[in-house]
Structure 1
Amino acid sequence: MSKSIGMVEFTSISRGIYAVDQMVKTAEVEIVTATTTCPGKYFAIVTGDVASVNNSVEVGEQYAKEYLIDSMVIPSVAPEVFPAIAGGVMPEYMDAVGIVEAFALAPMVVAADSVLKAVNVEPIELRLGNGLGGKSFFTFTGDVAAVTAGIESAKNALMLKGLLVNAEVIPSPSPKVLPSLL
């Protein structure tokens, strides 16, 4: 059974924590992450079956009130999204690296999911807001053609909302730059 994820972003940290408490009390979901982000916001991702996640996100929206920035649900998320959010893994070999940068958090998760579903690439990291001034980025690796196609998929997902900052493909990355990817 595939997992669903829901994301809610708040302008208020205190309201965010309060709303997330209500989200997990009223729906059978697990917290993937619930944390402060730059600049002084709160962001939560929950997972579970589609109905529970939809219910949880609706509750989050209701309790957020005027502090709601954005919310989204991905009904069947690519399983590789979870380790990328958790901090990433450095692959042993990289033919090419893709980096996508966005002005928002939840839409970047949607973009990363679209990449992982569209092409055969391996996620490195999905960083959401911490130490980034409210921005986010997704790094992934694969062969040059797959990474290039993945970049196009992510750009298409982010440009719909005008949230793309930049995206790059690095063919044959130098071993000296690889440690900076995590």
Structure 2
Amino acid sequence: MRYYGEEALGLIETLGMVPAINGADQMLKTADVELISYENVGSTLVAVMVKGDVAAVKAAVEAGAVAAAEIGKLTAQNVMARPIRGVGEIVSVHAVESSDDADAQAGRPKAMGLIETFGIVYVLEAADAMMKAADVELIGYENVASGYISVLVQGDVAACKSAVEAGVKAVHEMGVEVYSSVVIPTPHPDLVKITERYALSTLLA
């Protein structure tokens, strides 16, 4: 999606992917804004960008920042009321696009469970425990960089809760802490524009 600075721009940036996705979900649910860009910046930073009128963008960013900070580290947030066209060109480099698969899934979101660890050894243990503990489907995996790695599952709410609890427990039993985890009972349909990037079918293609 091209963005030309025609509307206000709202941004949150987090350490790791899971807080960013939780923040994005709340941004989209809080106000009439549109998800336009998502970027794995590097060095573990992840940014989510939305557009809309100024009041809506302010409300969305405030809610997204709180949601992200509840489960991880929020590194930055901002509302740009009237960005110039050049800024829009930069934002468009990282634009999210809706694929046919995303369109087909829109409106029928399943609950989502996410765990993020520091290191692949721990996230594989978490993924194994999650799928053994409950009837969930592994939908994605992401290496944000600098060692932060996430695993995503979906299913009904109870199954996702059980899966995340089991995954977190498994990592704790290895003597380390999970960086972040969350269950999103009713994900906003537009989240698929982000999560489809990390679908195993995409990564293995």
| TM-score (norm. length: structure 1) | 0.47
* TM-score with structure 2 setting the length: 0.42
Instruction: Give the number of the structure whose residues are more often helix, by fraction.
Output: 2
